[in-house]
Structure 1
Amino acid sequence: MTGIGGRLREVFRGDQRVDAETLVTRLDAVRRFLDAVDGQVPDSRLVAAHTLVERAGTRLSLSRDHTVVALAGATGSGKSSLFNALARLELSPVGVRRPTTGVAHACVWGPLDGANRLLDWLGVLPRHRFVRESALDGDDESALHGLVLLDLPDFDSVQRSHRLEVDRLLGLVDLVVWVVDPQKYADRVIHSSYLREFHRHRDVTLVVLNQADRLPPAELPRVVDDLRRLLDADGLAGVPLLATYAVDPGGIVGLREALERTVAERQAALRRLAGDVDTVVTALGELVGAEAPGNAPDQATVRTLDRALAGAAGVPAVADAVEGAYRHRAAGATGWPLVRGWRKLRPDPLRRLHLPGPGPDADRPEESLVAATSVPDPTAAQRSALGLAVRQVADRAGDDLPPPWPEAVTKAARSRLGDLPDALDRAVAGTDLGMDRRPVWWRIVGGLQWLVTLAAVAGLGWLVLGYALRALGLPALDTPMVGEVPLPTLLLLGGLLAGLLVAATTRPVVRWAARRARQRAEKRLAAAVAEVGAELVVAPVRVVLDRYGQARAALRDARG
């Protein structure tokens, strides 16, 4: 049986070395990915990545001169016997039918001081730590200097704590030696729950068919071939498969040589972490597929949002008020002076909305005007249109993104809906509606109206004075004639007719100018409302898209 180990011996593939600097760069890319998706992706989908970053950082900061190898197997597979045979000491209790290894035992080749921090991180209790190399060994154990060999509890133990300990340590060790026996090598548990999960860690996985001495020599190749077939089906093609037995030192020669080569290469820890990165990156690839649209949301969608915001902000009502206020103020400035006082009794449309108008409010600072308008509340139809527009922004921006990003985009688009009413009110209140200055032509027309009015009053006064003098029997005033018409009468009638003519002439001009003022106000209000939409709806969406792009770039770097 001594030739079995040599005949079936396989070694690790050492042709592909893992560069530590490259590995650190990939881990940093995973960290950047996690920073980018923080708050955008459910934490439940990032547990493995967070665990990787934490574990990898700790492992790389610990001893790089030690290689942690775990012996894992089912009850009765003989892994504790194999552990003792490799250490050449009786360190771990051996059992056949019942699990006897309840906690991990460690054997360190070399000084224990250098491995203590590593063993503390692994959680191996001090009383279960042993040192193999001593001055009495000479060069017999020097080839394994730096090996930390763990004997794990049985993964099929009836004690749940044993299984949990196995699962924990399997996520920490650098290399796993799976120990199976001829009776249970095809057990479904080890293949479906463990070996199959290690298909991305083929470079740090070794399988041994232990207790090979119990098989007839003619049966051993058939069992090994069947086990190889099962490993290939598990995705472990090319993983070293060795036949061992612990009753004779010659039965572990192949395994010992494989461990010696692994220890000499100092690559197991890096390969294990590289495999962990590969596993995590593959899982994270589902979160960032297609490239994010660079101009999302598109301009047409933004215009739809702006129109909905304008409706909700009451822009049409304010525009109507601007047009009405312009007419009102123009009539007061260009109308007959005798009826201007009556016009002032009518409320200014802008003043009714508590918007800046003539008077004390016109010079108030913008801060005092904020949230002080009386613009009508949006109707149910306007609120519905706004909700649909916000939803459309989210749908267009996140349409091509993989889950859960569309949900994150929708959440971002709606994240500040509660701030919209006050923000829109402030935008309307703070917008310069162009109504704070009186046009020059108002002054000209107003002065002309005063001139013709004074002429009419002068003519009326002249006529009244003439009638009064005649009534008192006093000498009448000389009344100049303009053609056949007395000058006082001409002044009175001419002033009245001129006033009517000026008013009739300026009325269409006022209507035209009022429409221009409305258009100007609508344009300014639309720009102010669009800024609110850009800040409270579009900007949060673009933040999510930027985070998606950062995550996608980080994952590309993490793939190496």
Structure 2
Amino acid sequence: MTNFVGRMREAIRGDQRVDADALVDRLTAVRRFLDAVDGQVPDAQLVAAHTVVERAGTRLELSREHTVVALAGATGSGKSSLFNALARLDLSPVGVRRPTTGVAHACVWGALDGANRLLDWVGVLPRHRFVRESALDADDETDLHGLVLLDLPDFDSVQRSHRLEVDRLLGLVDLVVWVVDPQKYADRVIHTSYLREFHRHRDVTLVVLNQADRLPPAELPRVLADLRRLLDADGLAGVPLHATVAVDPAGMTALREALERAVAERQAALRRLSGDVDTVVAGLDELVSADAPATGPDEAAGRELTRALAGTAGVPAVADAVRGAYRHRAVGSTGWPLVRAWRKLRPDPLRRLHLPGPAAGADAPQESLVAATSVPDPTVAQRSALGLAIRSVADRSSAGLPAPWPGAVTTAARSRLGDLPDALDRAVANTDLGMDRRPVWWRLVGGLQWLVTLAALAGLLWLAAGYALRALGLPALDYPRVGEVPLPTVLLLGGLLAGLLVAALARPVIGWAAGRARRRAEKRLTAAVATVGEEHVLDPVRAVLARYGRAREALREAARR
């Protein structure tokens, strides 16, 4: 892009009468537009824009000292005679057999060497190039130095190759002189197929009514007025219109002066390119809309997508497993020590899902967690909800955008749909569920349970020792008493009752804490799947909308003159 701009600026720098930078900026804006829509808009709709950008770069790198003027007309209009009359030499064949001109002929005023590269690009064969330079002319032709005059084939030729050649050359020349004759000046073909198509090139268009000598003097003004009316209807109001007579030098004065002015101004090429940009911008305007800015996915669509992704990823099931795991582990840590071993035989809910267990945390190796969880597969309803959410994101994001952008947004929203299952599985597996640490109150309650259990065990052993002594006939132990109850019995029964009471008191606390752990885990999991949604759905959509925004702004700049 930088080299392209630099070459064009260098090519047209120096002529202060032409806003060269503005033209370069417009062409650069068209190129930015093409870069922005690449891959989003069918190539068939961009051919004209690519052609103009490439053609402009080439034309501005070629000779700025020459103005390429084409004489275009229908069979029998006399443009070859006009060509010879301007050159004052018989260069292009003239005859009664039609079509006479089959290939373009060129006449260069001034040195041919400076125009050769330009003629190579235009496509005029070397054997059809002529130099209008003669010592006999003295300074008569000086005012036309720099003119490259082309005599084109007939655009209404019966030979299709001639018509194609005319269309090609009309896209390359700087200025077009349309030659009509009194018999066919109102012909539908020239007006509908050519002149109307040049309405954005009024600054580089001239029309001449050739063979004006065939009209009675009183009829000439009427025919010129009628031709002017037709030109106005074609969108060419203000285009110079001259009457010419190729066989009379006096009848060539107005046209010759118009060509001298065009050559002297050295602006025809820039004006032609400006008209080309106008035409391209008008054709591309339907691809972007000034009334439809790209706003991006709204918050409601994002929330809907996150809910659907959470359902597909099994977030509710994992959150329920977190609550169950919290209960399982809390009861195992705060329950009666004598039955803890029995509880450990029951499976941990998180382990059943292949999610981080009590010993695994945020620092656990994650490489083995790709698609390794056992979260239940999404149901048909959940898959359908996800599809609807993605469609909603695309529809809301592209609302009001002109074709083909809604389709491009929908394609972008679904572009990474195949990667979503693995991405969601990794997101769930890598989320810190907050289950890697044991709360302090678990340790306190667990310690209390061990204390009362030891008290009950001490009471039991104490009572067992007394029973054994009596069984052996030895003197019975004298137990300390708490009131009327022996201390060992108090310890045994008190320890058992205290353990049950502590467990009963801890149970509602465990339930409340398990619910809190579930909500915390669900929030973290939802945030994780929301990140997946951003990366796999919303970011591709935003990328397309950003392209639309750049294209819209670039086309707006290209439209400024």
Are 2:306 and 1:327 aligned?
Answer: no
Once the two structures are TM-superposed, the CA of residue 291 in structure 1 deviates from its matched residue by 5.2
Kept in 2, the 8 Å contact 1:292–1:548? The answer is no
Output aligned runs, 1:23-34, within 5 Å: 23-34=23-34
Deviation per CA, 1:255-297: give whole Å up to 9, x if none: 1111111111111111111111111112222222135557532
Q: Distance in 1 between matches of 2:56 and 2:362?
A: 65
Q: Distance in 2 between matches of 1:265 and 1:249?
A: 24
Once the two structures are TM-superposed, the CA of residue 220 in structure 1 deviates from its matched residue by 2.1
Structure 2 residue matching 1:68: 3-state secondary structure: strand
Output aligned runs, 1:159-198, within 5 Å: 159-198=159-198
Alignment RMSD: 1.7
Between stretches 91-100 and 204-213, larger displacement belongs to: 91-100
Aligned to 1:413: 413
| 1:167/1:192 CA distance change after superposition, 3 Å | same
Structure 2 counterpart of 1:250, which letter?
Answer: A
Aligned to 1:243: 243
Deviation per CA, 1:178-212: give whole Å up to 9, x if none: 11112221111111111110011111111111112
How many residues align? The count is 545
Q: Distance in 1 between matches of 2:247 and 2:153?
A: 21
Kept in 2, the 8 Å contact 1:412–1:537? The answer is yes
Q: Distance in 2 between matches of 1:435 and 1:36?
A: 48
Q: Distance in 2 between matches of 1:52 and 1:75?
A: 29
Kept in 2, the 8 Å contact 1:69–1:147? The answer is yes
Aligned to 1:282: 282
Between stretches 495-504 and 91-100, larger displacement belongs to: 91-100
Aligned to 2:200: 200
Aligned to 1:463: 463
Kept in 2, the 8 Å contact 1:33–1:550? The answer is yes
Once the two structures are TM-superposed, the CA of residue 100 in structure 1 deviates from its matched residue by 2.0
| 1:413/1:249 CA distance change after superposition, 3 Å | same
Are 2:151 and 1:151 aligned?
Answer: yes
Aligned to 1:133: 133
Output aligned runs, 1:349-364, within 5 Å: 349-359=349-359, 364=364
Structure 2 counterpart of 1:381, which letter?
Answer: A
Between stretches 435-444 and 473-482, larger displacement belongs to: 473-482
Structure 2 counterpart of 1:351, which letter?
Answer: R
Aligned to 1:558: 558
Once the two structures are TM-superposed, the CA of residue 399 in structure 1 deviates from its matched residue by 0.6
Aligned to 2:434: 434
Aligned to 2:3: none
Q: Distance in 2 between matches of 1:97 and 1:289?
A: 52
- List alignment gaps of at least 5 residues for structure 1: 1-15
Once the two structures are TM-superposed, the CA of residue 472 in structure 1 deviates from its matched residue by 3.1
- List alignment gaps of at least 5 residues for structure 2: 1-15
Once the two structures are TM-superposed, the CA of residue 176 in structure 1 deviates from its matched residue by 0.5
Are 2:53 and 1:86 aligned?
Answer: no
Q: Distance in 2 between matches of 1:147 and 1:290?
A: 42
Aligned to 1:484: 484
Identity over the aligned pairs, expressed in percent? 84
Aligned to 1:9: none
TM-score normalised per structure 1: 0.94
Output aligned runs, 1:471-510, within 5 Å: 471-510=471-510
Aligned to 1:398: 398
Kept in 1, the 8 Å contact 2:26–2:559? The answer is yes
Once the two structures are TM-superposed, the CA of residue 470 in structure 1 deviates from its matched residue by 2.6
Structure 1 residue matching 2:286: 3-state secondary structure: coil
Structure 1 counterpart of 2:98, which letter?
Answer: R
| 1:302/1:55 CA distance change after superposition, 3 Å | same
Once the two structures are TM-superposed, the CA of residue 352 in structure 1 deviates from its matched residue by 0.7
TM-score normalised per structure 2: 0.94
| 1:378/1:290 CA distance change after superposition, 3 Å | farther
Q: Distance in 1 between matches of 2:368 and 2:362?
A: 11
Deviation per CA, 1:52-110: give whole Å up to 9, x if none: 11101111111011000001111111111111111111111113341122211111001
Aligned to 1:531: 531
Aligned to 2:123: 123
Structure 1 counterpart of 2:469, which letter?
Answer: L
Once the two structures are TM-superposed, the CA of residue 449 in structure 1 deviates from its matched residue by 0.9
Kept in 1, the 8 Å contact 2:362–2:432? The answer is no
| 1:40/1:56 CA distance change after superposition, 3 Å | same
Q: Distance in 2 between matches of 1:80 and 1:342?
A: 110
| 1:280/1:253 CA distance change after superposition, 3 Å | same
Once the two structures are TM-superposed, the CA of residue 135 in structure 1 deviates from its matched residue by 3.2
Kept in 2, the 8 Å contact 1:455–1:492? The answer is yes
Aligned to 1:315: 315
Q: Distance in 2 between matches of 1:376 and 1:134?
A: 93
Once the two structures are TM-superposed, the CA of residue 361 in structure 1 deviates from its matched residue by 7.3
Kept in 1, the 8 Å contact 2:30–2:558? The answer is yes
Between stretches 307-316 and 464-473, larger displacement belongs to: 464-473
Kept in 2, the 8 Å contact 1:469–1:475? The answer is yes
Kept in 1, the 8 Å contact 2:413–2:537? The answer is yes
Output aligned runs, 1:197-346, within 5 Å: 197-290=197-290, 293=293, 296-346=296-346
Once the two structures are TM-superposed, the CA of residue 388 in structure 1 deviates from its matched residue by 1.1
Structure 1 counterpart of 2:387, which letter?
Answer: G
Kept in 2, the 8 Å contact 1:76–1:95? The answer is no
